[in-house]
Amino acid sequence: MERWLALLRINSTRQVLLGTAAITAIAVAAPVLTFAVVLGVWMKVPFHASLGILAICAVIPLLIAPPISFFALSILRLLTVTIERVDVYVRFDALTGVLTRAYLLGQIRDQLAKAGNGAFLMVDADHFKVINDTYGHDVGDEALKRLAEVLRTSVSIEALVGRLGGEEFGVFLPGADDAAAATAASALCEAMRRNAKVIAGHDIALTVSIGGASHTGSGKLEETIKLADAALYHAKRTGRDRFYIAGSTETMPALILRGRERGIAG
């Protein structure tokens, strides 16, 4: 079924022209060949005597097929382009280029149906309102773009990154446990400190706070997200520019635990 639907996708004017030529050729060839067989084989009409009929059989579809097929294929191309644009709009956030909230959550559910476990990180830009109020919303937009770029480039290729709304982003790490989530969150905090010092020519030094929670097949995704949200609130309340993984004290790597004790993370 998908193969047939793929054949109906017309993306360019070149495809429209080629399709028009192919349809016209078939429309002309079909009646000409049919009447040629009927006249020559069955009715034994000499070839020179049947030329007039064959010419009519060729001219009529030659006049009708091109405009109709061109119009129909042009409409199909317009539908294809529109569907692709809507698909991009549904899947990707227009400002940052990461996944939209709805598509992110849908993809996470698909991943969980296959693997059954993973970790969800909720990432929030620190003091974002101050950035908007001080430098303007255009600089705030650039800050969100930088944040999204850092998220995309600092996690594994299998990870899913999406914008949950405003300055909040979500990252899903398939198959990750608390320790892996803590390692990823620590790397993200460090990457933001390193790559978001200057944004749009301003010394902003953007940082993020991260809350995370691991998910097992026994629970609902919404419950995991609530745990990550609570962990994010804890990270914000304890100073920002840090992460906290719900219920992960005993499973965090020792290096991260030491960093947490120094007030660097957690």
Tell me the sheet residues that pair with 119.
173, 214
Q: What angle do CA 214, 218, 222 make, to 5 degrees?
A: 60
Residue type, 85: R
Q: Which helix (H) or strand (E) holds 112?
A: helix 101-115
Q: Kindly report the backbone phi and psi dihedral angles of residue 260, in degrees, each rounded to the nearest multiple of 5, phi listed first.
A: -65, -40
Hey, which residues does 163 pair with through a beta bridge? 169
Residue 179 sits at the vertex; the CA angle it makes with 176 and 183, to the nearest 5 degrees, is 90
The identity of residue 264, as a single letter, is: I
CB 173 within 8 A of CB 122: no
- Selection from 17, 20, 16, 21 nearest residue 80 by Cα: 16
Task: Count CB-CB contacts under 10 A for residue 9.
Answer: 14
167 is catalytic: yes
Catalytic choice (167, 222, 223, 250)? 167
Residues annotated as catalytic are 167
